[in-house]
Each structure stands twice: as structure tokens, then as C-alpha cells.
Amino acid sequence: MSIFNELTKKPWLADPSQIDGAPANQALFLPSGKVGLRVFLVVVTVVFLLTTIAYGDRMLFANWKSTPEPWVLWLNTFVLIASSVAMQWARNNTKRGNLTGVRDGLIFGGVLTISFLVGQLYGWQLMVESGYYAHTNTANAFFYLITALHGAHMIGGLIAWGRSLLKVRKILRSNGSVSDVKLSVELCTTYWHYLLMIWLILFMLLLIS
């Protein structure tokens, strides 16, 4: 569907006989869940984009003092990449019809994500122990803000992840079809990849500043 073609139509001239001919509707050829997630990811992007712009704006101030990133962020980044890989593995298993593989992939992905969040908290602790409090420097404050916002989105993802895992367990017990959980796993995987990409950009931003 071309949106421009659609918007230039003259509905008052339309021929009603089209109804029983060609598809008379322009619903997107995607499940609603996918469309909903894409719209949500746009909203998430705006949140992080605005935070990044605010960060960039404050960096231009003459008295900007950058803050050293705790070493654990590197480890956390690799853990998050691994969780994304695990989620992809779960997704691939839905295509193969391997339900236990889906379950294992989800469990690995979730555990790694929780490890990532614990690691981020440890990063905060390292910052505090080194005297880099939020109120002592705006760069510190941005560090806490950015990691908190990203972490909150990951926690939101874990709720969806938990629901998917429960669904998989239920299907395993009732010998149901993998197709019943395919969309949920796919949506989780997309969300994980997206949040990984956002984290990589944010981490890079923290490093270069």
C-alpha cells in the first residue's frame, strides 16, 4: 500500500462494486502485535533520542566534566549481547518447531538479562564507592539517568518475557503447538535486539564523552 496513493483517492467517486472484487481494505499485512511493538519502539526511540539530545546539549557547557565509566559496563554489554543471542536462538527454535529449545533460549535470555541488570546496579555501586555521586557532576547524573531509563525498559521487557515463558510451559505440559507462542517469542526477540542496539549507542555516547 502506498500511503500517497491512498491519500490522493477521491472517496466520493469510489465505486462500491470494488467491495467484492479486490481487497477493499488496507490493513497492514502484519499481526497487530508486531505493528503495536513497532509503534512502541518509535516511542522508546523518542525517549532516548531526547535524553541524548539533552546530554549533548549539556556537554557543550564550558564546565563539563566527563565521568569515567566503571569497567563492569564492558562486561554488562557482553552479557546483554549474549542475552540477545539467546533470545534469537529461542526465536529460531520456534521456526524449527522445537519447543524445549524455545524454552531454553528464553530461560538463558532472561537470566542473562537479569544478570545485566544486576551488573548495572553493581556499576552504580562502583560509581558511588568512587565518590561519583549523581549530585556532584552532571555527567554522573546523566550516567545514572541513562542507565536507569534503559534498565526500566529492560524490566518492562522481562514482564513480557515472563508471560512468554509461562505460555511455553503451559504448551509443553499440554503438548500444544509451538505456533501458539511464536509471535510472543518473536516480539520479545525484536524488543531485546532493539534495546541492545539502544544500549550500544548509549554506551558509545558515555565512552566518547
Residues of 88-125 as b/e, b for ≥16 C-beta within 10 angstroms? bbbbebbeeeebebbbbbbebbbebbbbbbebbeebbe
Least gap, CB of 160 to another protein (angstroms) = 11
Q: Select 75 or 145, whichever has its Cβ closest to another protein.
A: 145
Between CA 205 and CA 201 the distance in angstroms is 6
- CB of residue 27 vs another protein: minimum separation in angstroms? 4
- Residues found near another protein in the complex (CB under 8 A): 6-12, 14, 16-19, 23-33, 35-36, 39-40, 42-43, 46-47, 50-51, 54, 57-58, 61, 63, 134-135, 138, 141-142, 144-145, 149, 179-180, 182-184
Cell of 199: 544500549
Residue 149 Cβ vs another protein, minimum distance, rounded to whole Å? 7
- Per the structure block, which three cell numbers stand in for 29? 499485512
Q: Which is nearer to another protein, 85 or 149 (CB)?
A: 149
* Min separation Cβ 104 and another protein, Å: 21
Q: Which is nearer to another protein, 23 or 162 (CB)?
A: 23
- 131: region left, alpha or beta (phi > 0 left; psi from -120 to 50 alpha): left
Q: Find out whether 137 and 178 touch, Cβ atoms under 8 Å.
A: no
